A and B are shown apart, each in its own frame.
Chain A
Amino acid sequence: TQLLEQSPQFLSIQEGENLTVYCNSSSVFSSLQWYRQEPGEGPVLLVTVVTGGEVKKLKRLTFQFGDARKDSSLHITAAQPGDTGLYLCAGSNSNSGYALNFGKGTSLLVTP
């Protein structure tokens, strides 16, 4: 059972465009993380959000945690080819302990 639903599954855009990726759940999470994974590599942690309504910025990436701590979004401004990869959200709560529940990911392709 996938606790976290990500949308869209695939996204192909031109360099310079903006995009938003969504991560939704019916469960409440104590913390939620975003990772980026490139082919043949392990996921790399981008950000952790823990407070409902929290917004974090990482250069051109903006992450938001929903007020109810059930959903999150990742917005990329002026996407670049280097942003290409699989974006994964992962959440944990008291039920999961230290286990992370991952969404299936959004595969992003940014073409020049």
Chain B
Amino acid sequence: KAGVTQTPRYLIKTRGQQVTLSCSPISGHRSVSWYQQTPGQGLQFLFEYFSETQRNKGNFPGRFSGRQFSNSRSEMNVSTLELGDSALYLCASSWVGGPYMNTEAFFGQGTRLTVV
């Protein structure tokens, strides 16, 4: 089955602009999480959505927001871009269920955002 699809793969934006990234999860996966990956900090959790509701949020400023649609597709938005927002943004989908809290994540290829 198709994997997690993220679009676009690459983006170059100017400071102060805003950006929207898109993620289509694996069919049947209802949980979508977003992560920011930088060389200095590694992978850091942004937020997680399930059934169009944000269930968890990481320690990021309010400029970072997201949403999930009824078909489980998700978008994240970053407003008023700063140079430090340059990073690889990764989306992951998970199947919810099973005997324990299933956090096995299947990642997309990511969107490489460069802020200049």
Contacts and interface: CB of A to CB of B under 8 A. Distances in A.
B108 A97 contact: no
A24 B102 CA distance: 21
Contact of A31 (B44, B103, B109): B103
Contacts, number: 75
**Main secondary structure on chain A at its contact with chain B?**
loop
B2 interface: no
Nearest to A47: B104
B94 interface: yes
Contacts of B101: 30-31, 92, 94, 97-98
B107 A100 contact: no
A102 interface: yes
Interface residues on A, range: 20 to 34
B64 interface: no
Interface of A: 2, 30-31, 33, 35, 40-45, 48, 50, 88, 90, 92, 94, 96-105
Interface of B: 4, 31, 33, 35, 41-45, 48, 50, 55-56, 58, 90, 92, 94, 100-101, 103-110
